Structure 1
C-alpha cells in the first residue's frame, strides 16, 4: 500500500489486500471529499459502487453511520437488519448478507471508510473485525500520505504556472516580479477565478480573463 504511486493506486491496493486478509467477496473504499459527496476511488466489484451510491443518495446505511460516528459498523445479516430497512432490502437483492464498515482514521481525523461485504451471514466475527481494524490503520496512513503528496504536487504545478504567467507579463509590459504578481492577483479577485487558473489562461491564450 505504501509503495503505490498515488491516491487511486493506494486505495486499490487496500481493497485488493482486504480480500486476502479478511474472508469476504467484495471490498471498497469511500473517501471524504471536502464540501462534496464522498468519493469511491476503488472497489473490487461493481456491486460495491452500487451499494455506496444507494447509501449516499439516501443518506442512510452503515457507510453513512460509520462516517458520522467515526466508529465501525457491523451488519451481521441483511435479512434481519432493522436500522436501515430500505438499504438492507437493496443490498440483499445484490446477494450481500453481511457488512463491515471500518473508519480510516489518522491523528488529524477520519479520511474515509473501508467497506467489506460477504455473501454469507455472520461472516465478520471478532477475529475478522480485529484484522479489518489493523488493515484500516495501515490504509489510513497510506491514503493520507498519498493525498498529501498529491496536494503538494498540485501546489508545485500551480506555482510553476504562476511563475510562467508572471514571466509573460514582465516581458510584455516591462513589469517587475512584484507588479506582475499583483496583476494576476487582481484579475483573480475581480473574476472570482483561482490564481493558477488565471495563470493557465494567460499561458494558453496570451490574454487575461475579462473582468
Structure 2
C-alpha cells in the first residue's frame, strides 16, 4: 500500500473511531485497522497491565490472547515491555522468532510454538496517561519493516487519542447515570419515610458501608424494590 492510500484510509479510520458508541467498539475498530493497514500484520490486540495480571482487549484472533497470557505468565515479551512503561521504551519488535532468543529467552521459544514469526508492540499513550500496548503479530518471520513501524506508530497515535476519549465519555455517561439513579433512590426514601434529602442520602451511604456494597448498587436496589431490605 502506498503512503497516499494509507493516509486516505487513516483519515477514514479517524471518522470511524469517532462514530463508535462504546469503548469496546472503539478498541475493536483499532485492532481491525491494524490488520487492514499495517503490512504483514495477521492479528492484533491491545494488552493492558493490571495489579492482578494482564488483560487482552479486542483481540482479532485467539493467537493474540495466547501470546498475551504467555507474556503475562513469564513476565517478559515485547508487548509486555511496551505496556510496562517503566522501561522508558515505547516500541519493541521481534524481527524473526527463529533468530532472536537473547532479549526474551523464555518467551521466544514458547511463542514459536504458538506459530508466531514476528511481532511489534507499541505503547498507547497521550500527554496525560499511558493506556497499554497495541500489538501486531505475524505468522511469518521478518515481515515488519521500517515502513511497518511507521504505519504502526501512526495508527497507535490515532488509537491512543480515540481510546482515551472513548473511555472518558464512558466514564462521564456512567457518572451521569449513577447520579440519576442515586437521586431517584433518595426521592423514593424521602417519600416513603418522610425524611429530608440529607437523611435519605445518609441512609444510602450507611447501608453501602455496612454491607460493603457500592453506593450506586444500593441506589439501584432501592429503585428496583421500592426501598431497602
* Alignment-derived partner of residue 5 in structure 2: none
**Deviations, residues 103-146 of structure 1 (Å, cap 9, x unaligned):** 01111121111100112222222111111011000000001111
- List gaps (5 residues or longer) in structure 2: 1-16
| 1:171 CA drift (Å) | 1.0
2:172 paired residue number: 152
Pair 1:167-2:184 in alignment: no
Q: TM-score, normalised by structure 1?
A: 0.91
**Residue in structure 2 matched with residue 80 of structure 1 by the alignment:** 99
- Is 2:194 the counterpart of 1:178? no
Alignment of 1:1-211 (within 5 A): 1-23=17-39, 24-32=41-49, 35-68=51-84, 69=87, 71-81=90-100, 82-208=102-228
Q: Is the 2:74–2:106 contact (alpha carbons within 8 Å) kept by the matching residues of 1?
A: no
- Report the Cα offset of residue 42 of structure 1: 0.7
TM-score normalised to the size of structure 2? Answer: 0.84
Residue segments in structure 1 that go unaligned for 5+ positions in a row: none
Q: Secondary structure at the match of 1:85?
A: coil
* C-alpha distance in structure 1 between counterparts of 2:153 and 2:184, whole Å: 46
Q: 1:80: Cα distance to partner? A: 2.4
Cα contact 1:32–1:111 (8 A) shared by 2: no
Alpha-carbon RMSD: 1.7
How far, CA to CA, are the matches of 1:71 and 1:186 in structure 2?
46
Distance 1:207 1:57, change over 3 A: farther
Offset of residue 201 of structure 1: 2.0
Task: Output one character per residue of 1:78-100: Cα deviation in whole Å (capped at 9) or x when no partner.
Answer: 12222223321222112211110
Count of residue correspondences: 208
Kept in 2, the 8 Å contact 1:78–1:88? The answer is: yes
- 1:15–1:27 CA contact under 8 A, matched in 2: yes
Determine the C-alpha separation between the residues in 1 that align with 2:18 and 2:99.
Answer: 39
